[in-house]
Amino acid sequence: MGLTVSTVVNYLSWQEDLFQEFPTYFLSFLAGTVGIISVLYLTKVYASSSFGIQRQLQQRLSSAESDVAESPTDTTAAEEVAFDTSNPSKRVPVSVNFHFTRVCNYACGFCFHTAKTSHLTPLEEAKRGLQMLANKGMKKLNLSGGEPFTQAKYVGELCKFSKQVLQLESVSIVSNGSKIRKDFFTIYGEYLDILAISVDSFDEETNIKIGRGK
């Protein structure tokens, strides 16, 4: 089969185009290859890091469990185990939020804990429950409601019991502040570590609109 002049010219022209476009093709190929290698490397690094973090966390939890078994009063170890979701029976209630009443003198439209019942657990029964929690490792107690100071003596006695008998590290109350009286602190002030007052607005008209004004 013979070659014509036209065939030779077309062949040479194709070779010239290929030579001119070769750098573009080569760079695209190189970039794609580098990208694939980078993804594979990062995936390997991520997998190794995740496995390492998971292994370290498991080791810390295992160590914390041993510490609690040897020394139940070890606060640091107790806090570690408190987050051990793999062993529900060994969780420690380090910090407890006790909503002992749902009664409140305000009617805030946004509140999640509006009164649906006026039930109030008898004081001695509440103390017994707190003693059980302390036996399991409770260190901090927050008393809330409702409005705790609708039962001022009740919440005061819980504070006194928690500090005097249970010897908790921290006892706190969250209140709207409207029913707090000076005589409460005269009797129970020494048993209270923190008093938190909720404030939603400094404007009285706004407070009235949301349900917590006069």
Which of 94, 96, 104, 158 is catalytic? The answer is: 104
Contact 183, 171 (CB under 8 A): no
Is 104 a known active-site residue? yes
Please report the pLDDT score of residue 117 as a whole number.
75
pTM (predicted TM-score)? 0.59
State the DSSP H helix or E strand holding residue 196, giving kind and residue range, or none if neither.
Answer: strand 194-197
Which of 108, 174, 180, 187 is catalytic? The answer is: 108
Radius of gyration, CA atoms only, the chain: 35
Is 111 a known active-site residue? yes
- Domains defined for the chain, CATH in brackets: 1-90 (no CATH), 93-210 (3.20.20.70)
Q: Which residues of the chain have pLDDT under 50?
A: 1, 3, 8-9, 11-12, 14-15, 18-19, 22, 25-27, 29-30, 34, 37-51, 53, 57, 64-80
> Residue 178 CB: number of other CB atoms within 10 A?
15
CB-based contacts of 155, cutoff 8 Å, min separation 6 = 100, 143, 148, 149, 173
Residue identified by tokens 């590290």 is 169
Is 159 a known active-site residue? no
State the DSSP H helix or E strand holding residue 175, giving kind and residue range, or none if neither.
Answer: strand 170-175
